[in-house]
Amino acid sequence: MSDDETATTEEKKTTLVGISSAILKGDGLRINQFVQTFFNEGFIITAMKLKYNHKTEAKSIVVEINFSNSDIRIDINKTYLEEEGVEVITPLSFSEQDETIKLFQNVAYQVYNELLEKQKREALVINI
């Protein structure tokens, strides 16, 4: 293996460690060095999946959020119930799914609108 190939392999390993670190820690993801590298190169976050574990019940939900210029799409990707210590994929009823999506949409739109307003304010400061 040449020195260039070894360097490329090491780079890939470092990248994978950066991804794993950013995902596993979760908190402060936007300030993670690995993530910042991509932001600095002009990339933006356009989609994410979040897994929520219920505090008191043995169930989890994976929500997928996709961002476009001025809209957000929220889907329930998977739902799980824990049975004997094992998570089992268990679809929600239509009414439960609808209620859950509405809850996430309301919160997501509020946060998204706050972020858009913050971006506009920052853009105005830069342009002044």
Rounded alpha-carbon distances, angstroms, from residue 83 to 28, 43, 54, 89, 101: 32, 40, 14, 10, 24
Task: Encode burial over 11-22: b for 16+ CB neighbours within 10 A, e otherwise.
Answer: eeeeeeebeeeb
Instruction: Write out the H or E segment, with its range, that includes residue 124.
Output: helix 94-127
pLDDT tens for each residue of 69-115: 667 788 888 899 998 889 999 988 889 888 888 888 888 778 777 87
Contacts of 18 (CB under 8 A, 6+ apart): 32, 33, 34, 37
pLDDT tens for each residue of 29-65: 666 677 778 778 888 778 888 888 888 988 888 888 8
For the full predicted model, state whether its pTM sits above 0.85.
Answer: no
